[in-house]
Amino acid sequence: MQQEHENDNPQLISYNLLRQLIGLLGIVLPILLVVGAFYYGNCEIVQSSISDYYHTKMRNILVGVLCAVAFFMFTYKGYDIRDSIAGNLACIFAIGVAFFPTGVDTVSECAEQCIVYEDWIKTVHFTFAGLFFATLIYFSLILFPKSKASKNHLSNKKKKRNTIFHICGYVMISCIVLIALYFFYLQERFPELQHLDPVFWLESIALWAFGISWLTKGQLIFKDKD
């Protein structure tokens, strides 16, 4: 009987650490932005989206974390060519999100400056963001649940990890769908929702799901026996 043993190869141990680092960055990013803006930017309100923190004193943190995720994704090879391709694409998309920032129309009390970009730059930003999350969903739903063992021969811990992967993947899908629904329908129909910062919180939940998925793949929880 073939079981999945991700710790058989010393190189794969470093892969687990890499996965954990990627997951940790996804989880801490929204927290860093909110807490950092509060303490260092005198920003007592949550911005409308993760991307809007580009215009605050947390710009370098936002770009730096995205670049770190991009670098880790580029170095991630996984088990076959699909992992490598997905990692390289995620790298490109993360860099695109970082270097094609969203513009703002008005200066909020937290913004250092108001940079109004042409519409095509904002379109590129949102396209890269959507593709980045699509790649993360592909990791969670398709690549992470893979195993050399047949479905009937999976270890109990592998089955539990697969459950987490699927939950995280569907949570990310739900967040992206709700964000699209907000922009294309709810924003105009229910303008009062803007005060609840739905995009920021949905993006944060999606990032936390992404982080949990990668931490689980790194076997921080439900770890196989060595």
Condensed to tens digits (0 to 9), the pLDDT of residues 77-88 reads 877 889 899 999
Asked if residue 49 lies in contact with residue 102, where contact means CB atoms within 8 angstroms, the answer is yes
Q: Is 211 domain-assigned?
A: yes
Indicate the average pLDDT of the chain. 85
Give the tens place of pLDDT for each residue, 169-211.
999 999 999 999 998 888 888 888 888 899 999 999 999 999 9
Q: Is 3 domain-assigned?
A: no
Q: What is the per-residue pLDDT for 139?
A: 94
Burial letters 15-51, b for 16+ CB under 10 A, else e: bbebbbbbbebbbebbebbbebbeeebebeebbbbbb
Q: Is 5 domain-assigned?
A: no
Q: Is 90 domain-assigned?
A: yes
Q: What is the per-residue pLDDT for 195?
A: 86
Q: Which of 124, 125, 115 is nearest to 50 (CA)?
A: 125
Q: Which of 26, 11, 3, 13 is nearest to 139 (CA)?
A: 26
Q: Is 111 domain-assigned?
A: yes
Report in angstroms the alpha-carbon separations of 215 from 1, 107, 151, 206, 219. Answer: 27, 37, 22, 14, 6
Beta-carbon contacts of residue 120 (< 8 Å; ≥ 6 apart):
none
Q: Report the predicted TM-score, pTM, of the whole model to 2 decimal places.
A: 0.85
Residue 174's domain comprises: 10-217
Q: Is 168 domain-assigned?
A: yes
Q: Is 222 domain-assigned?
A: no
Task: Categorize the per-residue pLDDT at 7 as very low, low, confident or very high, splitting at 50, 70 and 90.
Answer: very low
Task: Give the chain's domain count.
Answer: 1
Structure tokens at 169: 């993947």
Task: Categorize the per-residue pLDDT at 56 as very low, low, confident or very high, splitting at 50, 70 and 90.
Answer: confident
Q: Is 142 domain-assigned?
A: yes
Average pLDDT over residues 68-82: 88
Q: What is the per-residue pLDDT for 214?
A: 94
